[in-house]
Structure 1
């Protein structure tokens, strides 16, 4: 069946348009039916093409999901793993990364969910999903390391923190946007979602209520961050 795949060197504008339409239709099918129940015939019907035309572009439904997952990984790398300005405010870096993570998973949670499900039964998908996870963890870990230089999250493993954050963000992206999630009849806008996630995470890395309670009155002044002040004091 491989000979029916349209080679990249012979792709035409019309063919590329159809390919993109197939991928968009596949995302909609994954959102409604999941990977196992999504049918090639339904995907192709939504782009007004016959089921047989699918194999001109992909040898299988799995190959289509691999391409979608690779595009997801590429976007994650561009937006979450982009180089950091080490002189910038690490808290602002963290907030930016959280916002980027949310928007990526909001758009492509059907792909991420399908890939995760397939990773539990298929070695190729297991490797691909592991690569996506590691990429997200590296991106978040780099921000955590900057925060640790400022006195936050002292003594904790930056990769474990990043892994926990990525896991929370992944499931939250699914849970707040999928029909099977907590709010099937509610559209949660980006601003509200990012604000909730940001406050939870920033309060966590700052040490939470316990540290705030133990802080001196001067530390509680608006705009005064106790962790950062202590770190700067220790550096002299």
Structure 2
């Protein structure tokens, strides 16, 4: 996905208005999802006119493209902590779970928007695939690492990784979206780390 960035906003007021629109859009999308969110919803949340939105974005899809490109490198950087060769199996599981949870939590609007737009737009479908490829590659390495320790059956590491990432995404979405009670970060990360650890490093006979 390629995005042509707009020119930097020339005034403090312009930057503040754009920030207000972005914040409003994130809040509405977290509650309603991108497909049900309208430009009018975003403008009303921001306390601005609908015309104000179009001063900064051509469409809500264009807005999401700008957001998504910004956070791609951040997600990659967070996942690297689980690749430290000095970690124990539990520490590696915990680092991987933390990276996935915090990325989804901190970039909830991006994750919801790209995943939902992927259902109706080929461009976003490819971008969602690229986003998921990061944790899939990490977990595949973890399964291969377990196999080197004799802790893995003859399963397909890639398929295990795909299954885990699918579960992780749905868990994070269920816990974080909808605007309900804020989840307990520590409890959620520990739960995900336990699933990582038991799935990858505690393999018993079938």
What is the TM-score when the length of structure 2 is the normalising length?
0.83
Q: 1:150 to 1:21 in 2, by over 3 A?
A: farther
User: Which residue of structure 2 aligns with residue 65 of structure 1?
Assistant: 64
User: Which residue of structure 1 aligns with residue 95 of structure 2?
Assistant: 96
Gap regions ≥5 residues in structure 2 = none
1:40 positional shift: 1.5
1:8 positional shift: 2.9
CA contact (8 A) 1:91 1:147 kept: no
Q: 1:196 to 1:44 in 2, by over 3 A?
A: same
Q: Provide the aligned length of Structure 1 versus Structure 2.
A: 203
State the alpha-carbon separation in 1 of the partners of residues 14 and 158 from structure 2. 42
Given candidates 177, 195, 202, the residue that maps to 2:197 is: 202
User: Which residue of structure 1 aligns with residue 35 of structure 2?
Assistant: 36
Could you say which structure has the larger radius of gyration? Answer: 1
State the alpha-carbon separation in 1 of the partners of residues 12 and 81 from structure 2. 30
1:82 positional shift: 5.2
Deviation string 1:110-166 (CA, Å, 9 cap, x unpaired) is 432232221121111111111111122123323333333222324333222221111
State the alpha-carbon separation in 1 of the partners of residues 41 and 182 from structure 2. 26
Name the SS for the 1:99 alignment partner.
Answer: helix
State the alpha-carbon separation in 1 of the partners of residues 98 and 190 from structure 2. 9
Q: Which moved more, 1:75-84 or 1:124-133?
A: 75-84
State the alpha-carbon separation in 2 of the partners of residues 52 and 46 from structure 1. 14
What is the TM-score when the length of structure 1 is the normalising length?
0.74
4+ residue stretches of structure 1 with deviation over 4 A? 9-14
CA contact (8 A) 1:86 1:146 kept: no
User: Which residue of structure 1 aligns with residue 172 of structure 2?
Assistant: 173
